[in-house]
Amino acid sequence: MDKLQAGYLFPEIARRRSAHMLKYPEAQVISLGIGDTTEPIPEVITSGMAKKAHALSTLEGYSGYGAEQGEKQLRAAIASTYYGDLSIEESDIFVSDGAKSDISRLQVMFGSNVTMAVQEPSYPAYVDSSVILGQTGQFQKDVEKYGNIEYMKCNPENGFFPDLSTVSRTDIIFFCSPNNPTGNAATREQLTRLVQFAKDNGSILVYDSAYAMYISDDSPRSIFEIPGAKEVAIEVSSFSKYAGSTGLALGWTAVPKELLYSDGFPVAKDFNRIVCTTFNVASNISQAGGLACLSPEGLEAMHKVVGVYKENANIIMEAFTSLGFSVYGGKNAPYVWVHFPGQSSWDVFSEILEKTHVVTTPGSGFGPAGDGFIRVSAFGHRGTVLEACKRFKQLYK
């Protein structure tokens, strides 16, 4: 624990936001910082949950502990909806309380004696959970990196996909696509190379697809679209970014039975044991919500919500592009990654906050390769996103 640097990124941003609001109590602060959904949960989903809640107060509708792995019906619906043609089955799906918790449970399963690779920049939870479990070396102040982690640089020069010929072999590879924070989705050809790389090295690929529903082009929505991926990959995903985060606190992890350790032991058996030992079960009201999400009406409603955020992303991209900035992401993800060459991310963050009262996220919070960038989140009501863009245009005109 002592090795961990500073605060976790988002609490730090919340702290600065609060300080700003104290300084400018009259300001209309807009938050495009933390990736938090803002649109109401579609009624078809909340009704499903309310109905389940009411049922729990009746003798016939009551149920106690369900299976730790999640309710059979929900596991089956996830498998058929997201992996219908990919031979991922109900028994490969572990329902959970969310992707962040599952990443930590996977780290606990891998233990402290593994090496890991991670995209840089990346969502802080991969590295921080690794540090907490003692997988890493000390933090090296000069390069702002931890020892014993292989950082795979992703930047405009390499199209946000690492040059695998320079990446050392590790036991575990974390890969997030569409990416948080860069908003970039890896192509089929890139993911095919990544799967081959993992196979050649005997690595386990942990693929975070929490933003898959935001993909607009023909990038794969699941790593299991890549032939051979089932022998090397675990996929972590979530309902959070589709149907409102904390109302559900619901995600899942797919561990194919084809994925084996080098001694032939199935990884899914280990993960099952981890889930049974360190986790109870996702709230069954949330699971009812998940099931409602996957009904035809629920899917349509989720697509509508996602559509709102995607249009927001477009508006933000256009605003920064019209101001002459180089802008990345946004097309396949709810995040826009704006380049401020030569500037420090925290300086840009502070200037935007001070002059426009808009909270963004400094790119360097996702690792030093993110410095010079800010992440602008498309999660916001349309009106506030338009207002934020108006203020950006005033600041940078």
CB of 371 to a copy of itself, least distance (A): 22
Among positions 42, 256, 365, 367, the unique one binding a copy of itself when judged by CB under 8 A:
42
Nearest residue (CB) to a copy of itself, 211 versus 379 = 379
Among positions 3, 4, 346, 395, the unique one binding a copy of itself when judged by CB under 8 A:
4
CB of 243 to a copy of itself, least distance (A): 10
Which residues, 237 to 256, sit near a copy of itself by CB under 8 A?
240, 244-250
CB of 250 to a copy of itself, least distance (A): 8
Which residues, 167 to 226, sit near a copy of itself by CB under 8 A?
none
Rounded Cα–Cα distance for residues 290 and 198 (Å): 32
Helix axes 382-396, 345-356, angle to 10 degrees: 110
CB of 217 to a copy of itself, least distance (A): 27
Query: If binding is defined by CB under 8 A, does position 54 make contact with a copy of itself?
Result: yes
CB of 84 to a copy of itself, least distance (A): 28
Query: If binding is defined by CB under 8 A, does position 57 make contact with a copy of itself?
Result: yes
Among positions 58, 165, 166, 262, the unique one binding a copy of itself when judged by CB under 8 A:
58
Binding residues for a copy of itself, rule CB under 8 A, total 75
Nearest residue (CB) to a copy of itself, 53 versus 395 = 53
Nearest residue (CB) to a copy of itself, 57 versus 166 = 57
Binding mask of the shown chain, residues 107 to 146, with x at each position contacting a copy of itself by CB under 8 A: -xx-xx-----------xx--xx--xxx------------
Binding mask of the shown chain, residues 61 to 80, with x at each position contacting a copy of itself by CB under 8 A: xxxxxx-x------------
Nearest residue (CB) to a copy of itself, 46 versus 196 = 46
Q: Distances from the Cα of 9 to the Cαs of 5, 136, 273, 366, in angstroms?
A: 10, 19, 31, 8
Nearest residue (CB) to a copy of itself, 146 versus 340 = 146
CB of 259 to a copy of itself, least distance (A): 15
Which residues, 264 to 293, sit near a copy of itself by CB under 8 A?
270, 273-274, 276-286, 289
CB of 169 to a copy of itself, least distance (A): 22
CB of 230 to a copy of itself, least distance (A): 21
Which residues, 366 to 385, sit near a copy of itself by CB under 8 A?
379
Query: If binding is defined by CB under 8 A, does position 15 make contact with a copy of itself?
Result: no
Indicate the pairing of strand 149-153 with strand 116-120.
Answer: parallel
CB of 42 to a copy of itself, least distance (A): 7
Rounded Cα–Cα distance for residues 84 and 77 (Å): 9
| SS3 per-residue string spanning the chain | CCCCCCCCHHHHHHHHHHHHHHHCCCCCCEECCCCCCCCCCCHHHHHHHHHHHHHCCCCCCCCCCCCCCCCHHHHHHHHHHHHCCCCCCHHHEEEECCHHHHHHHHHHHHCCCCCEEEEECCCHHHHHHHHHCCCCCCEECCCCEECCEEEEECCHHHCCCCCHHHCCCCCEEEEECCCCCCCCCCCHHHHHHHHHHHHHHCCEEEEECCCHHHCCCCCCCCHHHCCCHHHCEEEEEECHHHHCHHHHCCEEEECCCCCECCCCCEHHHHHHHHHHHHCCCCCHHHHHHHHHHCCHHHHHHHHHHHHHHHHHHHHHHHHHHHCCCCEEECCCCCEEEEECCCCCHHHHHHHHHHHHCEECEEHHHHCHHHCCEEEEECCCCHHHHHHHHHHHHHHHC
Residues contacting residue 96 through CB under 8 Å, at least 6 positions apart: 70, 102, 105, 250, 251, 252, 253, 275, 279, 282
CB of 322 to a copy of itself, least distance (A): 29
Given the rule CB under 8 A, which of 1-9, 143-151, 167-175, 227-235 is the region that contacts a copy of itself?
Answer: 1-9
Nearest residue (CB) to a copy of itself, 58 versus 168 = 58
Nearest residue (CB) to a copy of itself, 219 versus 245 = 245
